[in-house]
Amino acid sequence: MTGASTGIGAASARELARRGFHVLAGVRRDQDADALRAPGIEPVILDITRPGHIAGLAARVGSRAGALRALVNNAAVSVNAPVEALPLEEWRRLFEVNLFGHVAVTQALLPALLRHSGRVVNVSSVGGKVAMATFGPYAGTKFALEAVSDALRRELAPQGVQVVVVEPGGIRTEMGERGIAATSRLAEAMAPELRDRYGPLVQAVIALTAAGTAGGTSAEDAARVIAKAVTAGKPRTRYTVGRDAALLTRLSRILPDRLLDRVAAAVLRPHYPKTTPA
């Protein structure tokens, strides 16, 4: 598991350990490792953007006598910003963590998965199906992860390795709170003309995200879906987490783009600052 420090990752590590797995749980800091360490959970310091860390993980997997049953790619960073307003270095940082890092880990561990007919579980997002305003950078990484997952599933099915995507909606985790804080910092740093153009929209998105996080699915419920994706004998290609994710992914399949645009605008409208007309 590539991101188990907090939230869904930590809950999933505990759920899989409870089900009898030995979980190599990727964390970024020693204090996170100490907090997570438990029977069945072996924390591993892992930054998926660092090749040396990935090589160390592959070596640790190779040193174990047991089979590698599954790779859960769930590490991610989140930030919302208008396409025009997010600096390119921030775009690149998001893609390095949310996409390229997972590709690198998958490439490193596929030999072990192929030997034992293991499974790849990629944790995407409802944002991998629907990109709300200001979600372009984050959703872009998740749309890309969905495409990579589709290709990988078709490439590996003849080899006996299954690829499953999990698409959470709003989840009550620290990641959501960190994403809100990062979005707020970026909004404050925007040039005055960009703040005039997008300020009310960003404030509305922050309010909507905060409401969705507070009322979202628990990390433990999300962990049970991930565990199902790992253990199901005949898994679906995709699992959603939460009613909001199930509804939005369904709407994205059946509504024309313009109608979906109006639905998205209506959802956002009540969250605009009261002094600013939406």
Half-sphere exposure of 247 (CA within 13 A, CB side): 8
Q: How many residues does the chain have?
A: 278
Assign 130 to helix, strand or coil.
coil
Single-letter amino acid code for the residue at 56: G
| 273/139 Cα distance (integer angstroms) | 24
- Interior angle at CA 171, CA 33 and CA 21, nearest 5: 45
| 140/127 Cα distance (integer angstroms) | 8
Active site residue 198: no
Sorted by sequence, the CB contacts under 8 Å of residue 223 that are 6+ apart come out as: 8, 11, 12, 14, 15
> Of the residues 138, 198, 239, 272, which is catalytic?
138
Instruction: Please identify every residue annotated as catalytic.
Output: 138
